[in-house]
Amino acid sequence: MASAKKQMAEKSELLTYVVNPLRRFGLNILGACRDLFPIILVILIFQLAVVRQPFPDFLDVFVGLIFLILGLALFVVGLEIGLFPVGEAMAEAFARKGSLFWLLLFGFGLGFSTTIAEPALMAVAKEASVVASNGKLIDSDPASMRSYALGLRITVAFSVGIAILVGLIRILKGWPVQYLIIGGYTAVMIMTGFAPKEIVGVAYDSGGVTTSTVTVPLVAALGVGLASTIRGRNPLVDGFGLIAFASLLPMVFVMGYGLILFR
């Protein structure tokens, strides 16, 4: 009897820790292939029908595509078993603890830390420093270019932290998200009229690069987890909207950065 129970326990552990994750990974690979198929199809059509040339380094392209599919599948598995549960669990823990200060501090720190290390933001900031140097807006020496790029990254990261902080307060207070979004874009339009034209495009692009692959799932899980914990809040209505703030506020802050730097 004890031996049978032990075997059943071992089979249960095998299913939990080996079979189920492998099955989930296989389904995610199929999902990644399905999601990438339209992109691959467009590239094939234009390469073969319009450009009419064979792929350069076809073997490298094929190997890279395989790595991309595996990477996407692993990324989705990581979100499901790691980031989403962590975000929801921390939101619930902060809500039960009743510590508003630590909740808001965590939200700000999460937004700042994930954004400052975002590769897309680094690329935009570096390119912006090169263009600003070529346009004689800043000195062309490496130190000035690094300082400009770092200032841009810190400005964007700080604004994302503030955006998530405001979004958490909105969930706690139950404020309608549309009013804050309308007010935010009104501020963007006003700032566009006053900001130097050299910074406007960079500011708009900064709003897009802030929603990174780490920030989005953590912030979404944080918002949904918090709204699920607070009585009277609907996760579907109140839990979402943090990512919109994280894309909106950097545009305002970066244009403000340009006003200070270029005038």
Tell me what pLDDT residue 244 has. Answer: 85
Quickly count: other Cβ atoms within 10 Å of residue 92's Cβ: 15
Over 70: is that where the pLDDT of 105 sits? yes
pLDDT per residue as tens digits for the range 140-166: 888 888 998 999 999 999 999 999 899
Tokens 């340009």 belong to residue: 258
Quickly count: other Cβ atoms within 10 Å of residue 37's Cβ: 10
Tell me what pLDDT residue 175 has. Answer: 86
pLDDT per residue as tens digits for the range 237-260: 777 788 888 889 999 999 999 888
Tell me what pLDDT residue 189 has. Answer: 93
**CA–CA separation, 4 and 40 (whole Å):** 51
Confidence category of residue 233, pLDDT binned at 50, 70, 90: confident
Least confident of 63-67, 96-100, 112-116, 241-245: 96-100
Cβ–Cβ under 8 Å, residues 87 and 225: yes
pLDDT over 70, % of the chain: 89
What average pLDDT does range 68-89 have in this prediction?
76
Structure token pair of residue 263 = 């005038």
pLDDT per residue as tens digits for the range 44-77: 888 878 877 777 777 888 888 888 888 888 877 7
Tell me what pLDDT residue 4 has. Answer: 53
State pTM to two decimals. 0.75
**CA–CA separation, 33 and 43 (whole Å):** 15
**CA–CA separation, 134 and 83 (whole Å):** 41
Tell me what pLDDT residue 158 has. Answer: 94
Cβ–Cβ under 8 Å, residues 110 and 164: yes
Tell me what pLDDT residue 16 has. Answer: 58
Tell me what pLDDT residue 223 has. Answer: 81
- For the chain, what are the domain ranges? 1-82, 99-263
Over 60: is that where the pLDDT of 6 sits? no
Tell me what pLDDT residue 23 has. Answer: 78
Burial label for 262, CB within 10 Å (0-12, 13-18, 19+), is middle
Structure token pair of residue 240 = 């979402």
pLDDT per residue as tens digits for the range 187-223: 999 999 988 888 888 889 888 877 766 677 777 777 8
